[in-house]
Amino acid sequence: MIVVLFGPPGSGKGTQAAGVAAHLGVPHIATGDMLRAEVERGSALGREAAPIMEAGQLISDDLIIRVMGSRLAEPDAAAGALLDGFPRTVAQAEALDALLRSRGRAVDEVFLLQVPDDVLLERVLKRAAEEGRADDTAATFGRRLAAYRDETEPVLGHYRRERVPVVTVDGVGTVEGVAERIHAALPRPHQLGQAS
Ligand code: AMP
């Protein structure tokens, strides 16, 4: 089962991901978390990614596709994965399709968390105060939202063209309320059995 959690920065992907991954019995794979861990470690990848992330821009497709290719080849992802923050461009979505196709698989479902821009900014600034993420400033948020609109939103059109179900979930409200709406739209375990 390959599920993509989709939405703008601050839409709640990271907050909701653990519960959804546990429900599906697959690992939660978040490219942003992976990149932040590399920055923390001071690896070559982390040193390359840090200034780009801090500027609110996207890491190159080649680099992130390589990172995801090796992550998805790890044994825990054999049963599937919940993807958070990837794919973020149509080129990434196409590379993911090709990778999955070579294993006889495909993206099963996309969940789009829908949240108005003013609520997104409010959440990102709250996260800045709580977690101190370098890219959670008002100025960088504007650039991240622009990157989302220009480069990431077209990925939805890609999945719709490929006939992958795209489920829109209202992402405003309490963490529990949003979780309930996502869970109501998730495939039930017996459907998962049929799908695999
Ligand atoms: P996130 O935690 O998903 O908001 O990601 C934080 C930052 O990491 C983004 O603003 C990008 O700079 C970078 N990043 C994460 N995932 C990707 C991706 N799939 N493609 C390119 N850049 C990414």
For the question of whether the overall pTM of this predicted structure is more than 0.75, the answer is yes
Task: Dump strand ranges (E) for 42-159.
Answer: 81-84, 109-114
Q: Is residue 88 part of a domain?
A: yes
CATH number of 85's domain: 3.40.50.300
Average pLDDT, rounded, for the chain: 93
Decide if 68 contacts 74 (C-beta within 8 A): no
| CB of 53 sitting under 6 A from ligand 1 | yes
Q: What is the pLDDT of residues 132-160, one digit of tens each?
A: 888 999 999 999 999 999 999 999 999 99
Q: Is residue 45 part of a domain?
A: no
Of the candidates 126, 148, 118, the one whose C-alpha atom is nearest the C-alpha of residue 8 is: 148
* 195 band by pLDDT with thresholds 50, 70 and 90: very low
Domain range spanning residue 10?
Answer: 2-29+80-191
Distance 140 CA to ligand 1 centre (A): 13
Q: Is residue 169 part of a domain?
A: yes
| CB of 58 sitting under 6 A from ligand 1 | yes
Question: Measured between alpha carbons, how far is 190 from 181 in angstroms, rounded to an integer?
Answer: 19
Domain count within the chain:
1
The predicted structure's pLDDT at residue 192: 53
| CB of 107 sitting under 6 A from ligand 1 | no
Q: Is residue 63 part of a domain?
A: no
Atom 1 in ligand 1: residue holding the nearest Cα:
32
CA distance readout (Å), 78 to 26, 84, 99, 125: 9, 17, 13, 37
